[in-house]
Every structure is written in C-alpha cells, then in structure tokens.
Amino acid sequence: MLNGTYFNGMHGVHAPQTGITGQNSQTGQLIGIASSALQGPSSQSFKPLDPHRLNIVGESHPESGPRRDEEKAYLQSLGMSGSQYWNENEFQYSTTKNRFQILGISFGKETTQSFGDPVMLRLEMRLADVKEKFLPIAQKFAAGVNPPELGLNHHPLEKTWESFVKTGFNQETKQIILTMHELLKVNDEKAIGKLTHLYSFMEQLEKKYQNPATQNVQADAQTLLQDWAKAEQIFCADVKAGKPLEHSDNLSRQRSAAMAASAQASAQTVGVWKVGQSHINDIMSAPGFNERALNYNILTKDEFNQGLALWVQKHHP
C-alpha cells in the first residue's frame, strides 16, 4: 500500500481507509468534533444555517465524508430533510428558456437541468490533476527511480509501481469514468456525444491497468505516459477544439464561479449544498462580492462545524 500522506493531498484520490483512528463509534467522533469546534472561533461569530433558503457550505471532504448521516440529522433538527442535502457533485438547478420566437412573440418553454458544479469543468480538472500530480511520478518510474515522495524508497521498484498504479492511477481513471457517467443524469446529449471517444478509451485503460503486475517497470511506466498523452489528446480535440488543458488551479476557480452562479439562480431552493472550503474562499473573495445581494446563505467550514458542534453538545452532553 502506498504512503497515504502523499495521496491524501490529491484531488479526489485517497489511500484506502482502515477506520477512524482513536474513535470507537460515530458518537465518539461527533463528541470529538464538538470539542475541537467549540474550542475554535467564539460563539459570537456563530452563523446559523437558514432553513428557508439554499445554504452553500464549505467543508473538508475527508472530514465530512464519514459523517454525512450526522450532518443530515443536524439538518433535520432544523426542519429540513435528508433529501435537501447535496454533496459537491450532486446539486442540480433548473433553467427555463423560450423554445422559439415569431415576430417577437415567444412560444413554448424549455426547462433543462444542470449541475451546479459543471461536469465538464470537473472532468477537465481531474485530467489536469493527473497530468500535474501523477505523471511526474510516472516519469520517475520510467527513469528507473523509486519516487521519494511516495516514502517507499526501500521497497522493490516493482512493488512500488504496482501499488502506485492500483491506488493512484487506476482509481483516478475510475473516477474520470464515473464523472462522465453523471452527464446521463441530466441527459446532456451534446456533452455525451463529445465524450464518446474518451469514455471508450478510459474504459480500455481501466482494464489494462487493473492488475499491473510487471517485469519491466521502466517500459510499463513509459507506456502509461504514452496512454495518458493519448487520453489528453482525445479530450482536447473533442471537447476543447484543440486547446490544451488548463491548470487545475484555474479550473478550480472556474468551478467556484459556476457554483456561485448556480446558487444565485436557485432562489426557490431550500437545503444545504456542501462544497470544498476552497470554493467558498473563492466566492467570498471574488470582486464585487456582496453577501446582502445573494439569493442564498453562505457559510464557511468553521461556521458550519460550530453549529454542528453545538447540536452535538446538546444531544450528547
């Protein structure tokens, strides 16, 4: 198994988890949350969820992931339901436009569903993450070097390579395929058509690297680099009209802007949409940001955690 510290820093990729260290139950975990949160910012800065509006709320994905049920229970205590809770990639909103006009008169309405966190931006960011974070490691394998950032310098090169492919590259390949699957949920036929070639190729890569036993690490790493260069070429040709992948940092900021716009367009929606805290930072630091003009309520990770901690303290004194 690869060193978890390195992989936990990668977007969407985590080393396999063996449980919550030092906790014997979900209750114990929640009490730990309450203790740490209540020792943080003063309750004078506490900002509540609004049970009558859409709340876009920051989170640390590894922190909130194991406690989704508890967070939903917290919402229910405020009069919302579990179905009004959305992970970062789940929130959808509706837009309505006229089908056509004749002599300035509009006829018919067409309503479409879209993801608040656009699939194409998420997909490109995953591809960019692999290029920026995984491929430099693969290049070291191709040179016959055991990458020091994996923390496994004293392990055989073959075993390190196999673990890297299984817990890193192949898992990210699966996530890219799952991201493309999400387009089916909103029936985005135009986007689906653009991704047909890439989807087929990524499925081939998933099967190819599923069991990465090797006799020649350098040759296999070089093949992986060539395969990934082809995947990038397919995406850029079919989706970006030949333009190169953007940097992941820029794509993350674009996602943040799209989240803000979709939340603003969802004035009639009630619930909680959890997104990475970096996106909340981007939204709140954007030029012209004016919280009073928002159609939604915005909370940082710390503000939400404090409300959750107070609820936990009340229910687990």
* pLDDT score of 214: 82
Shared domain for 151 and 233, answered yes or no, is yes
What domain range is 62 assigned to? 48-114+252-317
Shared domain for 271 and 241, answered yes or no, is no
Shared domain for 242 and 124, answered yes or no, is yes
* End residue of a domain, out of 224, 246, 268: 246
Shared domain for 303 and 215, answered yes or no, is no
Tell me, yes or no, whether 20 lies in a domain: no
**Number of domains present in the structure of the chain:** 2
CA-wise closest residue to 302 among 93, 41, 96, 73: 41
* End residue of a domain, out of 196, 211, 246: 246
Tell me the two tokens of residue 201: 């190729």
Can you say whether the dihedral through the CA atoms of 7, 8, 10, 12 is positive or negative? Answer: positive
* Alpha carbon distance 61, 278 (integer Å): 11
Residues in the chain: 317
Shared domain for 132 and 231, answered yes or no, is yes
Shared domain for 193 and 267, answered yes or no, is no
pTM, two decimal places: 0.82
Shared domain for 240 and 123, answered yes or no, is yes
Residue 8: CB atoms within 10 A of its CB come to 12
Shared domain for 59 and 85, answered yes or no, is yes
> What are all long-range contacts of 210-213, with beta carbons under 8 Å and residues at least 24 apart?
210/170, 212/161, 212/162, 212/165, 212/166, 212/170, 213/162
Shared domain for 227 and 123, answered yes or no, is yes
* End residue of a domain, out of 215, 246, 277: 246
Tell me, yes or no, whether 278 lies in a domain: yes
Shared domain for 110 and 123, answered yes or no, is no
pLDDT by residue, tens only, the chain of 317 residues: 333 333 333 333 333 232 323 334 454 555 555 555 555 544 456 789 999 999 999 999 999 999 999 999 999 999 999 899 999 999 999 876 655 566 666 555 667 889 999 999 999 999 999 999 999 999 999 999 999 988 887 889 999 999 999 988 899 999 999 999 998 888 788 899 999 999 999 999 999 998 887 889 999 999 999 999 999 999 999 999 999 999 999 999 999 999 999 999 999 999 999 999 999 999 999 999 999 999 999 999 999 999 999 999 888 76
